[in-house]
Every structure is written in C-alpha cells, then in structure tokens.
C-alpha cells in the first residue's frame, strides 16, 4: 500500500503511455515528454500562484498589517485577479526600443528556469529528465539568465534599465562562482553529477534514527549556507535585490516593461527560487528521503515538497526582516568572504572523505571551517574604517 501510494504518479504516467502501446516509438517518446512537461508546469504554476498570495500574507503578518483578504475566501483568489489584470493591461513598448530584443528578453529569462526544474528528483523515480550530468545541465541552462537580463536592459533603450541590468549581471556573475564551488564538494564525495545518485548517496540512517544528509556534516552545513545565500542573490531576493529594489521608483532592467511581460519576469524569479531551493534540497537535505527512519511510510514526494516549502518560507522571512544591502557591500561580501569560504568547504570535504568519514574527519572538517570563518570575519570587519560621528544640533 505504501509503495503504491508513493509511486501513484509514476503508475499513472505508465498507464497513460500504455494506451499508445501500438503507436510508433517516436510517438510514445513524444507523449512521455509532454506528460512530464505538463505535470511539471501544472505543479509549479500552481505553486507560483500559491506563493504569490502566501508571501503577501506572511509579509503582512510580519509587518503587523492586513494582507490580501478581499478576492475570494481569505483572499485566495488574488492570484487569479492579478493574472487577469496583467493579461488585459496595455503592453507599452518604448518608441526607440529594440522591439525584437525587448520581446524576447522575458521569454529568455523564463525558459532556463523551467529547464532547470526538469533535472531535480521530486520523489522516488520522479525525475522528469534524468541524465548523468544533471547538475552540470542545471548550471549550464541557468547561466543563460545573465544574457536575458542584459537583453532586457539593452533592448529597452533606457539608461536606468541598462544600469540596473549591469548591476544585476555583476552580482549574478560574482555569486555564481561560490554557488558552483559549493556544489563541488558534494559531487566530489559522491563521485557523480547525477542528481538521482546524489540523493541515493544520502540514504540510510545512523543508529536507525539520524539521516546521512550532507547538511549534518561541518562542510555540508557551511556549504548549504553558502549555497542558500548565493541562491538569494541569483534570485534577486532581499537583502540582495539591489538591481530591482521594489521600494524604489526604478525597477532595474524591468523599468520599461508592463502587462504580461512584466509578470513573466516575476514568474521567472519565482521559478528560479523554486529551482535553487529544489537543488539545495537535493544536494544537502537528502532530497526526497524522510528525516527519520520511522517516517519512511510518508510518500517521498511529500517529503521533498515539505523541505522545499520550508526553504521558500525562509526566503519570505528574510524579505520581511532584513533591509537591502548596499551594492558595494554585496560585491565585497562575495569576493572577500563567500568565494574563499567556498574553497574552504572543498578542502574540508576532502579531509572528511579521506579520513574515512569518521569522527576524526568530522572534527578536522569542523576545525578548518571554523578557523576559516573567524579569519575571514576579521577581514570583513569594517568598524575601524569609520571615524566617530559628531552630531551638531541647532540651538
């Protein structure tokens, strides 16, 4: 019964494909691809709609005010109202804009995030596009977003849009390096670029209780935090939303966009957030495995989306808590702390692995990470760079 419930979507797909058993192979292959794509889009478009209203409600609760509560019961139909409004809103294109580039930019932003979602294992035997180099594919398609952001700034023929695009590209490129390097320890320890193999390597429980997740190791915990912070920057989320500060007049590279094109940028931002969070779950949080051995009766896909939901809540929590960082502080943090710490995680994972993953390796790994953290924290110390302020008041 437990296995049938866990594999219900896999069996449903196999049953639908069995209806085409007499068709040519290419028709069955095309139908299989379309079923996987349709299921993935339905799930994540629904999650996008749910997140858009839940984020506003959670932020309202954090800020002690009312959230959406007028459209539908408890305001749950607010995403439908927003979608209708954006669909019928006038699409304004600047007179001297590059029409083709201006049109293609939102599509080019959204497409890579959808492709990146295809290589994440959402449950046992539930990877839409399972390939040996899935992690490599994820970052290969994800790197196309920088080009799309530049297209949006350049095609708008607006100085504010261009400056916002250049700031976005600068911080995305800077934080893509620690994002990639924090993945290397996991790939090195597992010995594979396959997302399914990485999840399988985190199966099992010590003493029958504690899971073998990489986040429970010193290098894994540090790598997870670095990966999560880099994911915040890649998603342009607070406190790193420097290029498109929502409380400012200019919206960065999206300044000259309106209507459904503007909504597509936000769709891409949320899909990118889902992809980064899903990869973090896959790499460090055991993927679809249960947190305790006695909870393995719960279907695997429910565990994956529960972990995904926790990370998405943290995204919202940080947005309602932290102020926006200054752009020079953002870049300084990337090059002087994040990047060196990512290399330290790589060294720490190597020592942990070659010490047979035992207690000695765990302690050595913890010592290296802690020493590097305190040393780099001193490098970032800015208290001595500012002279004491003298306030003078009119008498």
**DSSP for 118-153?**
GGS--STT--TT--TTHHHHHHHHHTHHHHHHHHHH
Question: What confidence tens digit (pLDDT) does each residue in 372-395 have?
Answer: 999 988 877 655 555 666 767 665
Residues 6+ apart with CB under 8 A from 240: 171, 175, 232, 233, 324, 325, 330
φ/ψ of residue 210, rounded to 5: -85, 130
Domain ranges of the chain: 89-380
Across the chain, mean pLDDT equals 88
Work out the percent of the chain whose per-residue pLDDT is above 90.
Answer: 43
Question: What confidence tens digit (pLDDT) does each residue in 146-201 have?
Answer: 889 999 989 988 888 888 888 888 888 899 999 999 999 999 999 999 999 999 99
Using the 8-state DSSP alphabet, how is residue 205 labeled? Answer: E
CA angle 289, 280, 303 (to 5 degrees): 30
Contact assessment for residue 132 and residue 193, using Cβ atoms and an 8 Å cutoff: yes
Residue 82 CB-density burial (10 A; 0-12 exposed, 13-18 middle, 19+ buried): middle
CA distance 195 to 279: 9
**Measuring CA to CA, how many Å separate 344 from each of 191, 261, 339, 392?**
19, 41, 9, 47
The separation between the first and the last C-alpha atoms of the chain, rounded to the nearest angstrom, is 81
Longest dimension (CA), the chain: 93
CA distance 33 to 37: 6
Mean pLDDT value across residues 319-327:
87
CA distance 365 to 352: 6
List strand residue ranges (DSSP E) for 199-261, in order: 205-206, 210-211
pLDDT at 394: 61
Question: What confidence tens digit (pLDDT) does each residue in 225-268 have?
Answer: 999 999 998 888 888 887 776 666 577 788 888 888 888 988 99
**Measuring CA to CA, how many Å separate 131 from each of 36, 121, 123, 206, 264?**
15, 11, 16, 30, 28
Model pTM? 0.90
Percentages (nearest 5) of helix, strand, coil residues in the chain: 70, 0, 30
Place of tokens 């007049």: 249
φ/ψ of residue 205, rounded to 5: -140, 135
Residues 6+ apart with CB under 8 A from 347: 368
Q: Which of 196, 41, 197 is nearest to 117 (CA)?
A: 41
């Amino acid at each position: 019964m437990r296995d049938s419930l866990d594999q219900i979507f896999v069996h449903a797909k196999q049953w639908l494909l069995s209806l085409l058993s007499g068709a040519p192979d290419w028709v069955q292959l095309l139908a299989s691809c379309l079923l996987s794509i349709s299921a993935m889009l339905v799930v994540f478009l629904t999650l996008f709609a749910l997140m858009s209203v839940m984020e506003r409600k959670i932020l309202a609760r954090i800020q002690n005010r009312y959230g959406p509560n007028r459209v539908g019961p408890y305001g749950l139909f607010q995403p439908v109202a927003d979608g209708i409004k954006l669909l019928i809103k006038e699409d304004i294109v600047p007179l001297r804009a590059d029409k083709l580039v201006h049109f293609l930019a939102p599509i080019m932003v959204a497409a890579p995030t959808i492709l990146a979602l295809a290589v994440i294992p959402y449950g046992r035997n539930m990877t839409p596009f399972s390939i040996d180099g899935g992690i490599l594919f994820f970052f290969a398609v994800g790197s196309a977003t920088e080009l799309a952001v530049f297209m949006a700034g350049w095609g708008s023929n607006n100085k504010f849009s261009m400056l916002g695009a250049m700031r976005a590209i600068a911080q995305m490129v800077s934080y893509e390096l620690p994002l990639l390097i924090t993945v290397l320890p996991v790939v090195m320890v597992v010995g594979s670029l396959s997302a399914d193999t990485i999840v399988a390597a985190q199966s099992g429980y010590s003493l029958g209780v504690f899971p073998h997740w990489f986040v429970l190791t010193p290098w894994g915990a540090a790598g997870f935090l670095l990966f999560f912070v880099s994911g915040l920057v890649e998603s342009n989320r607070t406190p790193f939303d420097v290029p498109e500060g929502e409380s400012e007049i200019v919206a960065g590279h999206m300044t000259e966009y309106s209507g459904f094109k503007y909504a597509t940028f936000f769709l891409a931002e949320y899909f990118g957030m889902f992809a980064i969070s899903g990869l973090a779950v896959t790499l460090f949080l055991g993927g679809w495995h249960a947190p305790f051995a006695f909870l393995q009766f719960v279907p695997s896909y429910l565990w994956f989306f529960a972990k995904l939901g926790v990370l998405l809540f943290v995204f919202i929590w940080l947005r309602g808590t932290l102020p926006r960082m200054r752009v020079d502080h953002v870049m300084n943090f990337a090059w002087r702390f994040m990047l060196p710490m990512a290399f330290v995680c790589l060294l720490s994972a190597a020592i942990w692995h070659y010490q047979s993953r035992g207690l000695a390796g765990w302690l050595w790994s913890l010592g290296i990470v802690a020493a590097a953290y305190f040393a780099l924290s001193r490098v970032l110390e800015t208290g001595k760079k500012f002279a004491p302020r003298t306030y003078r008041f009119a008498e």
